[in-house]
Structure 1
Amino acid sequence: MTEEKYAGKNKPALSQSGVRWLWLAALVFLADIGIKFLVLDRIGYGWGNRIEILPFFNLLHVHNYGAAFSFLGDQAGWQRWFFTGIAVAVSLMLVFWMSKLPAREKWNNSAYALIIGGAIGNLFDRLVHGFVVDYLDFFWGSYHWPAFNLADSAICIGAVMIILDGFRSKPE
Protein backbone atom coordinates (compact mmCIF):
# COMPACT_ATOMS: atom_id res chain seq x y z
CA MET A 1 0.00 0.00 0.00
CA THR A 2 1.51 3.35 -0.94
CA GLU A 3 1.80 6.36 1.34
CA GLU A 4 -0.54 8.25 -0.99
CA LYS A 5 -3.37 5.80 -0.38
CA TYR A 6 -2.94 6.06 3.38
CA ALA A 7 -2.86 9.84 3.11
CA GLY A 8 -6.46 9.77 1.98
CA LYS A 9 -6.23 10.73 -1.69
CA ASN A 10 -7.30 7.25 -2.86
CA LYS A 11 -9.02 6.33 0.36
CA PRO A 12 -12.03 4.08 -0.31
CA ALA A 13 -15.50 5.07 0.86
CA LEU A 14 -16.26 3.35 4.17
CA SER A 15 -18.80 1.06 2.48
CA GLN A 16 -16.11 -0.06 0.01
CA SER A 17 -13.32 -0.30 2.59
CA GLY A 18 -11.89 -3.25 4.45
CA VAL A 19 -14.36 -2.79 7.31
CA ARG A 20 -16.70 -4.85 5.14
CA TRP A 21 -14.52 -7.80 6.28
CA LEU A 22 -15.53 -7.36 9.92
CA TRP A 23 -18.10 -10.13 9.31
CA LEU A 24 -15.15 -12.52 9.58
CA ALA A 25 -14.17 -11.06 12.95
CA ALA A 26 -17.77 -11.49 14.14
CA LEU A 27 -17.81 -15.10 12.89
CA VAL A 28 -14.56 -15.93 14.74
CA PHE A 29 -15.87 -14.23 17.90
CA LEU A 30 -19.22 -16.04 17.84
CA ALA A 31 -17.68 -19.44 17.10
CA ASP A 32 -15.07 -18.98 19.83
CA ILE A 33 -17.56 -17.86 22.46
CA GLY A 34 -20.01 -20.61 21.48
CA ILE A 35 -17.35 -23.29 21.88
CA LYS A 36 -16.20 -21.78 25.19
CA PHE A 37 -19.74 -21.84 26.58
CA LEU A 38 -20.04 -25.51 25.57
CA VAL A 39 -16.72 -26.28 27.25
CA LEU A 40 -17.75 -24.44 30.43
CA ASP A 41 -21.07 -26.28 30.46
CA ARG A 42 -20.01 -29.78 29.43
CA ILE A 43 -16.39 -30.43 30.46
CA GLY A 44 -15.27 -30.47 34.07
CA TYR A 45 -12.39 -28.19 34.99
CA GLY A 46 -8.84 -29.48 34.85
CA TRP A 47 -6.57 -31.93 33.09
CA GLY A 48 -8.23 -34.92 34.76
CA ASN A 49 -11.47 -34.27 32.87
CA ARG A 50 -10.01 -34.24 29.37
CA ILE A 51 -11.85 -35.92 26.52
CA GLU A 52 -9.56 -37.95 24.28
CA ILE A 53 -10.33 -37.28 20.61
CA LEU A 54 -7.21 -38.52 18.77
CA PRO A 55 -3.94 -40.13 19.90
CA PHE A 56 -2.40 -36.63 19.88
CA PHE A 57 -5.38 -34.39 20.73
CA ASN A 58 -7.71 -33.87 23.70
CA LEU A 59 -10.50 -31.47 24.55
CA LEU A 60 -10.32 -30.09 28.07
CA HIS A 61 -11.30 -27.12 30.21
CA VAL A 62 -8.54 -24.99 31.74
CA HIS A 63 -8.23 -21.34 32.69
CA ASN A 64 -5.49 -19.03 31.47
CA TYR A 65 -4.94 -15.91 33.58
CA GLY A 66 -2.12 -14.69 31.35
CA ALA A 67 -1.54 -14.37 27.64
CA ALA A 68 -0.31 -16.91 25.10
CA PHE A 69 1.14 -19.99 26.79
CA SER A 70 0.11 -18.55 30.20
CA PHE A 71 2.65 -15.74 29.89
CA LEU A 72 2.34 -13.65 33.10
CA GLY A 73 -0.41 -15.99 34.33
CA ASP A 74 1.15 -16.21 37.79
CA GLN A 75 0.95 -12.46 38.47
CA ALA A 76 -1.34 -10.76 40.99
CA GLY A 77 -4.13 -9.82 38.56
CA TRP A 78 -2.86 -6.64 36.92
CA GLN A 79 -2.18 -8.62 33.73
CA ARG A 80 -5.94 -9.04 33.20
CA TRP A 81 -6.29 -5.29 32.60
CA PHE A 82 -2.98 -5.02 30.77
CA PHE A 83 -4.05 -7.64 28.19
CA THR A 84 -7.54 -6.11 28.05
CA GLY A 85 -5.98 -2.76 27.10
CA ILE A 86 -3.76 -4.38 24.47
CA ALA A 87 -6.74 -6.20 22.92
CA VAL A 88 -8.77 -2.99 22.71
CA ALA A 89 -5.88 -0.93 21.32
CA VAL A 90 -4.86 -3.51 18.71
CA SER A 91 -8.47 -4.09 17.61
CA LEU A 92 -9.10 -0.36 17.19
CA MET A 93 -5.84 0.07 15.28
CA LEU A 94 -6.68 -2.80 12.92
CA VAL A 95 -10.21 -1.49 12.29
CA PHE A 96 -8.65 1.88 11.45
CA TRP A 97 -6.25 0.22 9.01
CA MET A 98 -9.14 -1.74 7.49
CA SER A 99 -10.99 1.53 6.93
CA LYS A 100 -8.05 2.71 4.81
CA LEU A 101 -7.84 -0.45 2.67
CA PRO A 102 -10.21 -1.26 -0.18
CA ALA A 103 -12.45 -4.27 0.44
CA ARG A 104 -10.88 -6.07 -2.52
CA GLU A 105 -7.60 -6.47 -0.56
CA LYS A 106 -8.78 -9.80 0.80
CA TRP A 107 -5.48 -11.01 2.24
CA ASN A 108 -4.78 -8.12 4.64
CA ASN A 109 -8.41 -7.50 5.52
CA SER A 110 -8.99 -11.14 6.40
CA ALA A 111 -5.74 -11.25 8.43
CA TYR A 112 -6.82 -8.17 10.39
CA ALA A 113 -10.33 -9.56 10.87
CA LEU A 114 -8.98 -12.87 12.22
CA ILE A 115 -6.85 -11.02 14.75
CA ILE A 116 -9.74 -8.76 15.78
CA GLY A 117 -12.16 -11.68 16.19
CA GLY A 118 -9.67 -13.62 18.30
CA ALA A 119 -8.70 -10.61 20.39
CA ILE A 120 -12.34 -9.77 21.11
CA GLY A 121 -13.08 -13.43 21.95
CA ASN A 122 -10.33 -13.51 24.57
CA LEU A 123 -11.23 -9.98 25.71
CA PHE A 124 -14.78 -11.17 26.39
CA ASP A 125 -13.42 -13.98 28.59
CA ARG A 126 -11.16 -11.64 30.55
CA LEU A 127 -13.99 -9.20 31.22
CA VAL A 128 -16.68 -11.79 32.01
CA HIS A 129 -14.69 -14.55 33.75
CA GLY A 130 -11.39 -12.91 34.73
CA PHE A 131 -9.52 -15.53 32.71
CA VAL A 132 -9.45 -17.01 29.22
CA VAL A 133 -11.02 -20.45 28.67
CA ASP A 134 -8.66 -22.79 26.84
CA TYR A 135 -9.78 -26.17 25.53
CA LEU A 136 -7.48 -27.49 22.77
CA ASP A 137 -4.72 -29.83 23.97
CA PHE A 138 -2.23 -31.17 21.41
CA PHE A 139 0.58 -33.45 22.57
CA TRP A 140 3.30 -35.84 21.48
CA GLY A 141 4.15 -38.58 23.97
CA SER A 142 4.33 -36.87 27.34
CA TYR A 143 4.95 -33.38 25.89
CA HIS A 144 1.82 -31.19 25.83
CA TRP A 145 1.70 -28.01 23.81
CA PRO A 146 0.18 -25.32 26.08
CA ALA A 147 -3.63 -25.46 25.86
CA PHE A 148 -5.23 -22.85 23.61
CA ASN A 149 -8.53 -21.98 21.93
CA LEU A 150 -10.05 -20.89 18.62
CA ALA A 151 -9.40 -17.21 19.38
CA ASP A 152 -5.70 -17.91 19.88
CA SER A 153 -5.63 -19.86 16.62
CA ALA A 154 -7.28 -17.01 14.70
CA ILE A 155 -4.81 -14.49 16.14
CA CYS A 156 -1.84 -16.68 15.17
CA ILE A 157 -3.16 -17.33 11.66
CA GLY A 158 -3.79 -13.61 11.14
CA ALA A 159 -0.31 -12.73 12.41
CA VAL A 160 1.32 -15.31 10.11
CA MET A 161 -0.68 -13.89 7.20
CA ILE A 162 0.65 -10.40 7.96
CA ILE A 163 4.22 -11.72 8.10
CA LEU A 164 3.77 -13.62 4.83
CA ASP A 165 2.36 -10.48 3.24
CA GLY A 166 5.74 -8.87 3.74
CA PHE A 167 7.20 -11.47 1.37
CA ARG A 168 4.50 -11.26 -1.29
CA SER A 169 5.21 -9.26 -4.42
CA LYS A 170 2.71 -6.49 -4.87
CA PRO A 171 1.81 -4.48 -7.95
CA GLU A 172 2.79 -0.82 -7.76
Structure 2
Amino acid sequence: MPDTRFRLFAHPWRWYLLAALLVWLDLVTKTWSKGLFEFGPAMQVIPDVLRFTYAENRGAAFSFLANAGGWQRWLFGAIALGFSVFVIRWIWKLDAKLRWEPLALALILSGAVGNLYDRVVFGYVRDFIHVYYQAWNFSFPVFNVADIAISIGAAMLVIDLLFMADKDKKEGSAAV
Protein backbone atom coordinates (compact mmCIF):
# COMPACT_ATOMS: atom_id res chain seq x y z
CA MET A 1 0.00 0.00 0.00
CA PRO A 2 1.47 3.40 -0.99
CA ASP A 3 2.42 5.86 1.73
CA THR A 4 -0.06 8.77 1.58
CA ARG A 5 1.27 10.80 4.52
CA PHE A 6 3.16 13.19 2.27
CA ARG A 7 0.57 13.59 -0.52
CA LEU A 8 0.97 17.37 -0.33
CA PHE A 9 4.57 17.01 -1.50
CA ALA A 10 3.72 14.76 -4.44
CA HIS A 11 3.87 16.11 -7.97
CA PRO A 12 2.57 18.74 -8.84
CA TRP A 13 1.60 20.00 -5.40
CA ARG A 14 5.19 20.48 -4.31
CA TRP A 15 5.71 23.00 -7.11
CA TYR A 16 2.52 24.87 -6.21
CA LEU A 17 3.63 24.90 -2.57
CA LEU A 18 7.03 26.30 -3.58
CA ALA A 19 5.30 28.98 -5.66
CA ALA A 20 3.03 29.87 -2.72
CA LEU A 21 6.03 30.19 -0.37
CA LEU A 22 7.78 32.48 -2.84
CA VAL A 23 4.63 34.61 -3.24
CA TRP A 24 4.54 34.91 0.55
CA LEU A 25 8.23 35.94 0.62
CA ASP A 26 7.60 38.48 -2.14
CA LEU A 27 4.62 40.05 -0.35
CA VAL A 28 6.42 40.15 3.00
CA THR A 29 9.47 41.88 1.54
CA LYS A 30 7.30 44.38 -0.35
CA THR A 31 5.39 45.22 2.83
CA TRP A 32 8.67 45.53 4.73
CA SER A 33 10.15 47.85 2.12
CA LYS A 34 7.08 50.08 1.97
CA GLY A 35 7.00 50.41 5.74
CA LEU A 36 10.67 51.34 5.99
CA PHE A 37 11.41 53.28 2.84
CA GLU A 38 8.21 54.93 1.57
CA PHE A 39 8.80 58.10 3.56
CA GLY A 40 12.36 57.56 4.67
CA PRO A 41 15.78 57.41 3.09
CA ALA A 42 17.03 54.41 1.14
CA MET A 43 19.22 51.82 2.88
CA GLN A 44 22.66 51.38 1.34
CA VAL A 45 23.41 47.66 1.36
CA ILE A 46 26.56 47.83 -0.76
CA PRO A 47 27.70 51.44 -1.23
CA ASP A 48 27.52 52.66 -4.84
CA VAL A 49 26.11 49.28 -5.98
CA LEU A 50 22.99 48.11 -4.10
CA ARG A 51 20.37 49.84 -2.01
CA PHE A 52 16.89 49.16 -0.74
CA THR A 53 14.42 51.88 -1.56
CA TYR A 54 10.73 52.06 -2.42
CA ALA A 55 9.12 52.57 -5.81
CA GLU A 56 5.65 52.09 -7.27
CA ASN A 57 5.54 50.79 -10.84
CA ARG A 58 2.20 51.38 -12.54
CA GLY A 59 3.43 49.94 -15.83
CA ALA A 60 4.97 46.68 -16.92
CA ALA A 61 8.67 45.79 -16.97
CA PHE A 62 10.90 48.87 -16.92
CA SER A 63 7.77 51.02 -16.33
CA PHE A 64 6.43 50.35 -19.84
CA LEU A 65 3.08 52.20 -20.17
CA ALA A 66 3.38 53.58 -16.64
CA ASN A 67 1.72 56.86 -17.64
CA ALA A 68 -1.08 55.36 -19.73
CA GLY A 69 -3.92 56.56 -17.51
CA GLY A 70 -4.82 53.49 -15.43
CA TRP A 71 -6.22 51.04 -17.98
CA GLN A 72 -2.86 49.23 -18.08
CA ARG A 73 -3.49 48.01 -14.51
CA TRP A 74 -6.32 45.80 -15.76
CA LEU A 75 -4.59 44.80 -19.00
CA PHE A 76 -1.42 43.65 -17.23
CA GLY A 77 -3.54 42.05 -14.48
CA ALA A 78 -5.54 40.07 -17.04
CA ILE A 79 -2.36 38.98 -18.81
CA ALA A 80 -0.78 37.87 -15.51
CA LEU A 81 -3.94 35.99 -14.50
CA GLY A 82 -4.23 34.21 -17.85
CA PHE A 83 -0.53 33.38 -17.86
CA SER A 84 -0.73 32.06 -14.27
CA VAL A 85 -3.58 29.71 -15.20
CA PHE A 86 -1.58 28.54 -18.22
CA VAL A 87 1.50 27.83 -16.04
CA ILE A 88 -0.59 26.03 -13.40
CA ARG A 89 -1.93 23.70 -16.10
CA TRP A 90 1.53 23.27 -17.62
CA ILE A 91 2.98 22.17 -14.28
CA TRP A 92 0.04 19.80 -13.72
CA LYS A 93 0.69 18.00 -17.02
CA LEU A 94 4.43 17.51 -16.54
CA ASP A 95 5.97 14.15 -15.82
CA ALA A 96 6.48 13.70 -12.07
CA LYS A 97 10.13 12.74 -12.65
CA LEU A 98 11.05 16.15 -14.04
CA ARG A 99 12.70 18.66 -11.71
CA TRP A 100 14.24 21.50 -13.72
CA GLU A 101 11.23 22.50 -15.83
CA PRO A 102 8.63 22.49 -13.04
CA LEU A 103 11.04 24.39 -10.77
CA ALA A 104 11.45 27.04 -13.46
CA LEU A 105 7.70 27.22 -13.92
CA ALA A 106 7.09 27.46 -10.16
CA LEU A 107 9.47 30.44 -10.02
CA ILE A 108 7.70 32.14 -12.92
CA LEU A 109 4.28 31.40 -11.41
CA SER A 110 5.26 32.86 -8.04
CA GLY A 111 6.51 36.06 -9.65
CA ALA A 112 3.43 36.45 -11.80
CA VAL A 113 1.08 35.91 -8.84
CA GLY A 114 3.07 38.20 -6.53
CA ASN A 115 2.98 41.07 -8.99
CA LEU A 116 -0.64 40.29 -9.93
CA TYR A 117 -1.62 40.67 -6.27
CA ASP A 118 0.01 44.11 -6.14
CA ARG A 119 -1.59 45.20 -9.39
CA VAL A 120 -5.11 44.17 -8.35
CA VAL A 121 -4.94 45.36 -4.72
CA PHE A 122 -2.87 48.55 -5.09
CA GLY A 123 -2.99 49.42 -8.79
CA TYR A 124 0.80 49.24 -9.04
CA VAL A 125 3.67 46.87 -8.29
CA ARG A 126 5.82 47.62 -5.25
CA ASP A 127 9.55 47.50 -6.00
CA PHE A 128 12.45 48.01 -3.62
CA ILE A 129 15.76 46.54 -4.87
CA HIS A 130 17.91 49.06 -6.70
CA VAL A 131 21.14 47.96 -8.39
CA TYR A 132 23.34 50.73 -9.72
CA TYR A 133 26.97 51.62 -10.22
CA GLN A 134 27.80 55.18 -9.26
CA ALA A 135 31.19 55.34 -11.00
CA TRP A 136 29.70 54.44 -14.40
CA ASN A 137 26.47 56.37 -13.88
CA PHE A 138 24.58 53.09 -14.45
CA SER A 139 21.22 52.42 -12.81
CA PHE A 140 19.07 49.33 -13.31
CA PRO A 141 15.31 49.82 -12.79
CA VAL A 142 14.11 49.10 -9.26
CA PHE A 143 12.72 45.55 -8.92
CA ASN A 144 11.39 43.05 -6.35
CA VAL A 145 11.54 39.37 -5.32
CA ALA A 146 8.80 38.47 -7.83
CA ASP A 147 10.87 39.97 -10.66
CA ILE A 148 13.90 37.95 -9.54
CA ALA A 149 11.83 34.74 -9.51
CA ILE A 150 10.45 35.44 -13.00
CA SER A 151 13.92 36.20 -14.37
CA ILE A 152 15.55 33.10 -12.89
CA GLY A 153 12.65 30.89 -14.00
CA ALA A 154 12.74 32.28 -17.53
CA ALA A 155 16.51 31.77 -17.73
CA MET A 156 16.05 28.18 -16.53
CA LEU A 157 13.44 27.54 -19.25
CA VAL A 158 15.80 28.91 -21.91
CA ILE A 159 18.61 26.69 -20.61
CA ASP A 160 16.22 23.74 -20.62
CA LEU A 161 15.17 24.46 -24.20
CA LEU A 162 18.70 24.99 -25.50
CA PHE A 163 20.68 22.36 -23.61
CA MET A 164 18.40 19.83 -21.96
CA ALA A 165 15.49 19.23 -24.34
CA ASP A 166 17.35 16.71 -26.52
CA LYS A 167 18.56 14.82 -23.45
CA ASP A 168 14.99 14.55 -22.13
CA LYS A 169 13.75 13.27 -25.50
CA LYS A 170 16.49 10.61 -25.67
CA GLU A 171 15.79 9.44 -22.12
CA GLY A 172 12.06 9.35 -22.85
CA SER A 173 12.46 7.30 -26.05
CA ALA A 174 14.94 4.93 -24.38
CA ALA A 175 12.47 4.25 -21.59
CA VAL A 176 9.65 3.38 -24.01
**Cα deviation digits, residues 77-100 of structure 1 (max 9, x gap):** 111111101111111011111111
Aligned equivalent of 1:6: none
Aligned equivalent of 2:58: 65
TM-score by length of 1: 0.85
**Does 2:94 match 1:94?**
no
Alignment map for 1:110-129 (pairs within 5 Å): 110-129=103-122
Alignment map for 1:1-172 (pairs within 5 Å): 16-45=10-39, 49-55=41-47, 56-141=49-134, 142-167=137-162, 168=164, 169-170=167-168, 171-172=171-172
Query: Which residue identity lines up with residue 78 of structure 1 in the other structure?
Result: W
TM-score by length of 2: 0.84
Which contiguous aligned blocks of 4+ residues in structure 1 show a shift greater than 6 angstroms? none
SS in 2 for 1:96: helix
Q: 1:119 & 1:145 partners in 2: Cα distance?
A: 20
Unaligned residue ranges in structure 2 (runs of 5+): 1-8
Structure with greater helix share of residues: 2
Q: 2:41 & 2:60 partners in 1: Cα distance?
A: 23
Q: 1:114 & 1:102 partners in 2: Cα distance?
A: 18
Q: 2:67 & 2:43 partners in 1: Cα distance?
A: 26
Unaligned residue ranges in structure 1 (runs of 5+): 1-14
Q: 2:41 & 2:111 partners in 1: Cα distance?
A: 25
* Count of aligned pairs: 157
| Identical amino acids, percent of aligned pairs | 38
Q: Is the 8 A contact 1:18 1:102 kept in 2?
A: no
Query: What displacement does 1:67 show?
Result: 1.0
**Cα deviation digits, residues 14-34 of structure 1 (max 9, x gap):** x85434311111111000000
Q: 2:83 & 2:152 partners in 1: Cα distance?
A: 16
SS in 2 for 1:49: coil
Q: Is the 8 A contact 1:20 1:103 kept in 2?
A: no
Q: 1:79 & 1:19 partners in 2: Cα distance?
A: 32
Comparing 51-60 with 99-108, greater Cα deviation is found at 99-108
